Amino acid sequence: MKDILTAPFMVEMIRTLTNMYAHGWDERNGGNVSLMLDESDVKDYLDLNAAKRQIPTGFAAPELEGRYFLVTGTGKYFKNVQYAPAINLGVVRLRDQGRQAELLWGFEDGGSFTSEFPAHMMSHVARLKVNPENRVIMHCHPANLLAMTYVHDLNEKAFTRTLWQMCTECIVVFPDGVNVLPWMLCGTNEIGIATAEKMRTARLVVWAQHGIYGAGKDLDETFGLIETAEKGAEIYMKIAHLPRLNTITDEQMHLLEKRFNVTAREGYLD
């Protein structure tokens, strides 16, 4: 068996979580990330017949039966992941129609996966239907996006258009826009179902007064997606209280669509 700490997916996960912490997106245990793995990714690093524990998930996700996930632990600090990955992270395989998770590696202090596991798994199911290459669900608490949910209309079209107007790259990086959920109790199946529903039409879902979810084909892409939305929100929070003299017009956004070969969410541009 090879050392799992040298596996490319593990190295990338630890680097990404460390970077998320460095960006201030993940205070204390804030945020959680799940990376779907193929059996071919893990087979050289783990004995796939030696589950250490069974952890009930509390929901069913038949589409994910037999799927492997590298996932952050509940209550764990992103700050500490690089120093103790086997305590702060785990690799699980879903069984029994997604009702049970077999722990194959990690959570060595007896811990468990994130309390947001329902939102992660249900979002994986939703995004895989749109894009079979989706592998990552990422949740974090970036300050400017969060701040924006206190002062901006939570209407999805209005919220998206404001972000698109804040920097030229925004419409190119997330042409499908940003969906928004009102404040809901986190860590529940209900918020998981609501998030997954929103994930059907966009790769970014804001949880008002809480944070954001992003989805993508790899950790880099998903990080970049949230990074770009957060940059847009940062500009907004810098200018929201000032007279607006200029903006990016819808006409200019149509030029960006053509130049970068993207299609803005239907009905969102004039």
Residues interacting with Zn ion, by CB under 5 A? 211
Q: Minimal distance in Å, beta carbon 270 to ligand 13P?
A: 36
- Asked whether position 192 contacts ligand 13P by CB under 6 A, the answer is no
**3-class secondary-structure state, position 76:** coil
Question: CB of residue 185 vs ligand 13P: minimum separation in angstroms?
Answer: 10
Per-residue x/- track, 132-161, ligand 13P (CB under 6 A): -------x----------------------
Q: Exactly one of 34, 57, 88, 114 binds ligand 13P (CB under 6 A); which one?
A: 114
Looking at the Cβ atoms of 215 and 253, the one nearer to ligand 13P is 215
Q: Residue 116 Cβ, how far from Zn ion at the closest point, in Å? A: 7
H or E, element range at 27? none
Q: How many residues sit close enough to ligand 13P to count as binding (CB under 6 A)?
A: 13
Cβ atoms < 10 Å from Cβ of 147: 16
Count of beta carbons in the 10 Å neighbourhood of residue 168: 12
CB-CB neighbours of 23 under 10 Å: 15
Nearer to ligand 13P (CB atom), residue 90 or residue 175: 90
Phi, psi angles (nearest 5°) of residue 33: -135, 140
| Residue 101 beta carbon to ligand 13P: minimum distance, rounded to whole angstroms | 14
Q: In the chain, which ranges are continuous DSSP H helix?
A: 8-22, 39-42, 78-81, 85-88, 117-130, 143-151, 156-166, 169-173, 189-199, 219-239, 250-260
From 56, 62, 75, 182, residue interacting with ligand 13P (rule: CB under 6 A): 75
Q: Based on the residue annotation, tell me whether 116 is a catalytic residue of this protein.
A: yes
Indicate whether 31 belongs to the interface with ligand 13P (CB under 6 A): yes
β-pairing, 178-181 with 204-207?
parallel
Residue 30 binding ligand 13P, by CB under 6 A: yes
Sign of CA dihedral 22, 134, 39, 113: positive
Stretch of 5-13, 23-31, 164-172, 251-259 lying at the interface with ligand 13P (CB under 6 A): 23-31
CB atoms near residue 160 (< 10 Å) = 27
Q: Say whether residue 115 binds ligand 13P (CB under 6 A).
A: yes
Nearest CB to ligand 13P, comparing residues 55 and 170: 55
Q: Which of 12, 65, 102, 116 is catalytic?
A: 116
Q: In what order do the strands lie in the sheet with 136-140?
A: 53-56, 100-106, 89-95, 68-72, 32-37, 136-140, 211-216, 204-207, 178-181
Per CB under 6 A, 57 contacts ligand 13P: no
- Which residues are the active-site residues? 116
